[in-house]
Amino acid sequence: MPVHKAKSFHLDKRAAAIADAGAGDGDELLTPSQVADWFGVSHQWLAHRRDAGDGPPFERIAPHIIRYRRDKVRAWLDARSHRSTSEYRAGAAA
């Protein structure tokens, strides 16, 4: 099975601030537009990350209805946190 490298996005550098802004009920279901606003990215960015399989975890409620659980999005952000730029660069190169 191939090993996938961790991808790096401009979003990584803002993860802590984004996580702080995501206060609320962990089980709350957010629309793609709400998550895009929370992250400061476009709706299309989220759609591309879903297609690529490396964005925040999502729920497919119906064929054209996507939702994100707030606690899973926070966990995804936490997993992308770094303490220094050298750690950040090392993770991107691995």
CATH of 10-93, one of 1.10.3470, 1.10.4160, 3.30.1490, 1.10.10: 1.10.10
With contact defined as beta carbons under 8 Å apart, do 50 and 59 qualify?
no
Residue 82: predicted pLDDT: 75
Query: What number of helices (H) and strands (E) belong to the chain?
Result: 5, 3
Is this prediction's pTM over 0.85?
A: no
The predicted-structure confidence for 40-68, as pLDDT tens digits, reads as follows 999 999 999 999 999 999 999 999 999 99
**Rounded Cα–Cα distance for residues 76 and 54 (Å):** 10
Mean pLDDT score of the chain:
79
H or E element at residue 65: strand 65-69
- Domain parsing of the chain, residue ranges: 10-93
Examine the pLDDT at 8 and tell me if it is beyond 60: no
**At residue 87, what is the residue type?**
E
